[in-house]
């Protein structure tokens, strides 16, 4: 996908596409005074689609959101952090429904046009007093500028250190279309329990079915290709809303600019996914694993995710140790066929394995490379045309510190 | 399996069963002066069987050992630590063959009666000068007493802190039969690259096919149910040798004492597997996950291994945090069907989840329990009769420290 099909909008966020306002506030779910309740509101009914965690224990808000998405239209998304509202039984479900109803009432929209998302601790009931009073104050906090997006982005964070947002523009039949997204996620990311949440906004006019298909495809190569700790959350959710206010002819797969739109949309997903991996709990480095020459794409994905998820590979990157033995061991346990005599491995530009044989390399140079911000691991299998890229982060003392003390 | 079928022999080791001597020495493969070369020798041809890593990139010694096991008979096993002789190409293979030939010559046995095992760093050639001179001195180090076993157990360790050994006795048709084992493994354990190696000796007379079947069955419920870091080594190997010197009628599945023998054999495997998990790199706690009520045994195993392998569960145990949300999230991502409304979870005797609903529990009591040496996590799914037990360890600062600096 060529970057020329679209342009990144510096400083853009979820309120940049026409029709969207957002905001956030602190209602009391987090122990600190950081924001913990937020919403995005679209001024018109938005064509909408969502993808959800594959974890069998799906949190209550996912059930409510699926119901709202039944007709493919949303006006708003309301989200809280500090509590996942997962494994909370009938009361948790009632709370999620009440959260949706109250948000709808205060925002002046229909209940079934509101999606609900939650992230935080599992197994505790929501403090509904906080949620109720927060929702009453939320409408006045919404705006369509940078501060509205900032307050929203801050409100969805848990162990995240930085907000994640992205905006691109793409030409569709002569009209400028904007696509933006915001996400959170730092631990229980394989898309994970501190939870991955993502919110996409666009002012494109786009068919609902096509939007859902695109969302699924983009997720497969972006959010589903990251891992922080191999743990898949009960609350993962990615919601996209398209206002249609760009005034373009409605996009579908046959539209001449579909490819550009899809590339731009995928760029936003990839940017957010990388940002989540880079901000993985305790992470010092972004690790990118590019696998090529696999039997097929599924094999390439399995290998890329196994390598990027290996605790030993992650620890070696933390220690700036060019320990390719751990990389090839991960390739060999990925559960897919590999010709064991034909593997090439590089760290950045430094070749360390060629045709499964060690290559003498400059340890000092490798050390310097591995101390950089991003570590690229390239694996070529020489078996076929399958390729895939996965992202993760190193395993550090801080990961252990954060997760040894998360709940208390 | 009732413990009454057999008895643990306190202080027993691999040289306790009749017919076996062992020993070890330092030949120069490890940078410290710890032992790094060892052998077990049987005074008669032993009925033998082995199981190997499922990693596609199998190290050179595994090829050589498979060849030696072709006729189901071994006289000796020679093993080195400090170098895995994996991903070392044709030279590595030649080195493994030379190691076998030299060991056979010095021990006065046939080449194809010698198994070879290696553990340590991947991708570096063995220092054959060290191996050659070490093998020349090894025969005089072998003895059938406690010191021979001790030197052997020390020689196979890498990042392990303690040796792992076990011996039991069982009555077979009026004859006392001894079964013993020694193992190592601390990281790249899912049976893993610092590597799991196991060596079983018994003086039982037992059919070769039956021995192999028993070894596989016992491995499935013991060594294959442990994980330290989810990384499967290129070098894992478990070898069993039966001298037959106990004088019992040859054991087979129809023998009236087969059940007792199998239980005793499995006990040794389980003891060693638990000892490996407890000595996992950086570990403070042994974690035992018992899953019952699963649809079938395969489902129970998948769930038990997913829970015990979860970085978040492991970190929570390190932090003594009764964070059952991470346990149920792991259950839900294990890839097998689960009735999401029927799950019970306990930490030791403390019930924390009942029918998928949180149970109020005493946090102080939970904290005290989680600070103990062994943490038992019980998961009952209420779906069927499948049950399984898996073992692992907590994720600590020391795991990261050890693996950030392993190779250098």
According to DSSP, the β-strands at B350-354 and B344-347 are antiparallel
- Residue B345, beta-bridge partner list: B353, B379
Domain ends where: B278, B298, B313?
A: B278
C-alpha distance from B336 to closest chain A C-alpha (Å): 9
Residue of chain A whose alpha carbon sits nearest to that of B235:
A329
The answer to whether the CB atoms of A229 and B311 lie below 8 A apart is: yes
pLDDT value for B1:
42
Tell me: do A271 and A290 sit in the same domain: no
How does pLDDT run along chain A (408 residues), one tens digit per residue? Answer: 444 789 999 999 999 999 999 999 999 999 889 999 999 999 999 999 888 887 778 889 999 999 999 999 999 999 999 999 988 889 999 999 999 999 999 999 999 999 999 988 888 899 999 999 999 999 999 999 999 999 999 999 887 888 889 999 999 988 899 999 898 877 666 654 445 787 888 989 998 898 988 888 888 888 877 777 777 777 788 888 898 899 999 998 899 999 999 999 998 888 888 888 888 888 899 999 999 999 999 999 999 999 998 988 999 999 999 989 889 988 988 889 899 889 999 999 999 999 988 899 999 999 999 999 999 999 999 999 999 999 999 999 888 888 887 554
Is B250 an annotated catalytic residue?
no
Domain ends where: A278, A295, A310?
A: A278
Tell me: do A229 and A366 sit in the same domain: no
Q: What is the ipTM of this complex?
A: 0.77
Tell me: do B50 and B173 sit in the same domain: yes
Block residue for tokens 């009960």: A234
Tell me: do A253 and A269 sit in the same domain: yes
Tell me: do B24 and B70 sit in the same domain: yes
What CATH number did the domain enclosing A143 receive? 3.60.70.12
Residue closest to B166 by CA, chosen among B156, B153, B180, B183: B180
Q: What does pLDDT average to over chain B? A: 89
Residue closest to A180 by CA, chosen among A363, A17, A361: A17
Domain ends where: B257, B278, B299?
A: B278
Tell me: do A148 and A188 sit in the same domain: yes
pLDDT value for B2:
47
Is A403 annotated to bind a ligand? Reply is yes
Is B195 annotated to bind a ligand? Reply is yes
What would the two tokens of residue A8 be?
């990144």
Q: Is B330 exposed, middle or buried (0-12, 13-18, 19+ CB in 10 A)?
A: buried
Tell me: do A269 and A311 sit in the same domain: no
pLDDT tens per residue, range B207-219: 889 898 888 888 8
Tell me: do A262 and A303 sit in the same domain: no
Domain extent for B349: 286-404
**Which residues on B lie below 8 Å from A328 (Cβ)?**
57, 87, 122-123, 234
Active-site residue, selected from the candidate residues A195, A202, A221, A306: A195
Block residue for tokens 């898949």: A232
pLDDT tens per residue, range B312-353: 899 999 999 998 988 998 898 888 989 988 999 999 999 999
Number of domains in chain B: 2
The answer to whether the CB atoms of B397 and A401 lie below 8 A apart is: yes
What would the two tokens of residue B384 be?
């069927």
pLDDT value for B186:
74
Least CB-CB distance to B231: which of A310, A324, A401? Answer: A310
Tell me: do B272 and B391 sit in the same domain: no
pLDDT value for B162:
85
Active-site residue, selected from the candidate residues B65, B195, B219, B396: B195
Tell me: do B263 and B350 sit in the same domain: no
pLDDT tens per residue, range B229-284: 777 777 788 888 898 899 999 998 899 999 999 999 998 888 888 888 888 888 99
Tell me: do A274 and A363 sit in the same domain: no
* Low-confidence residues in chain B, pLDDT < 50: 1-3, 192-194, 408
The answer to whether the CB atoms of B88 and A312 lie below 8 A apart is: no
Block residue for tokens 């829970």: B307
Residue of chain B whose alpha carbon sits nearest to that of A189:
B312
Tell me: do B257 and B293 sit in the same domain: no
What CATH number did the domain enclosing B330 receive? 3.10.20.340
Whole-angstrom Cα distance, residue A392 to residue A277? 5
């Amino acid at each position: 996908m060529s970057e020329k099909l679209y342009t990144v909008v510096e400083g853009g966020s979820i309120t940049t596409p026409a029709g969207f306002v957002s905001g956030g506030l602190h209602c009391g779910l987090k122990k600190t005074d950081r924001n913990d309740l937020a919403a995005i509101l679209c001024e018109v009914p938005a064509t909408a689609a969502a993808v959800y965690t594959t974890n069998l224990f799906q949190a209550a808000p996912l059930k409510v959101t699926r119901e709202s998405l039944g007709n493919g239209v949303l006006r708003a998304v309301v989200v809280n952090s500090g509590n996942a509202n997962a494994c909370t039984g009938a009361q948790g479900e009632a709370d999620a429904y009440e959260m949706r109803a109250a948000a709808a009432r205060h925002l002046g929209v229909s209940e079934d046009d509101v999606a609900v998302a939650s992230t935080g601790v599992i197994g505790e009931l929501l403090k509904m007093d906080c949620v109720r009073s927060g929702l009453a104050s939320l409408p006045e906090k919404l705006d369509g500028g940078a501060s509205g997006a900032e307050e929203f982005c801050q409100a969805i964070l848990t162990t995240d250190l930085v907000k994640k947002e992205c905006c691109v523009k793409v030409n569709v039949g002569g009209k400028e279309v904007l696509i933006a997204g915001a996400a959170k996620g730092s631990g229980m990311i394989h898309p994970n329990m501190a939870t991955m949440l993502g919110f996409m906004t666009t002012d494109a006019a786009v068919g609902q079915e096509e939007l859902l298909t695109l969302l699924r495809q983009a997720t497969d190569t972006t959010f589903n290709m990251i891992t922080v700790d191999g743990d898949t959350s009960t609350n993962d959710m990615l919601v996209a809303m398209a206002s249609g206010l760009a005034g373009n002819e409605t996009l579908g797969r046959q539209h001449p600019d579909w490819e550009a739109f899809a590339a731009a949309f995928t760029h936003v997903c990839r940017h957010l996914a990388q940002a989540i991996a880079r901000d993985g709990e305790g992470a010092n480095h972004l690790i990118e694993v590019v696998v090529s020459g696999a039997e097929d794409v599924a094999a390439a994905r399995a290998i890329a995710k196994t390598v990027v998820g290996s605790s030993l590979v992650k620890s070696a990157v933390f220690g700036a140790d060019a320990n390719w033995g751990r990389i090839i061991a991960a390739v060999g346990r990925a559960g897919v066929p590999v010709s064991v005599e034909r593997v090439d491995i590089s760290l950045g530009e430094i070749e360390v394995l060629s045709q499964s044989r060690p290559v003498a390399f400059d340890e000092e140079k490798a050390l310097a490379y591995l101390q950089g911000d991003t570590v690229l691991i390239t694996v070529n299998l020489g078996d076929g045309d399958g390729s895939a890229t996965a992202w993760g982060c190193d395993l550090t003392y801080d990961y252990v510190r954060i997760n040894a003390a998360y709940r208390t």
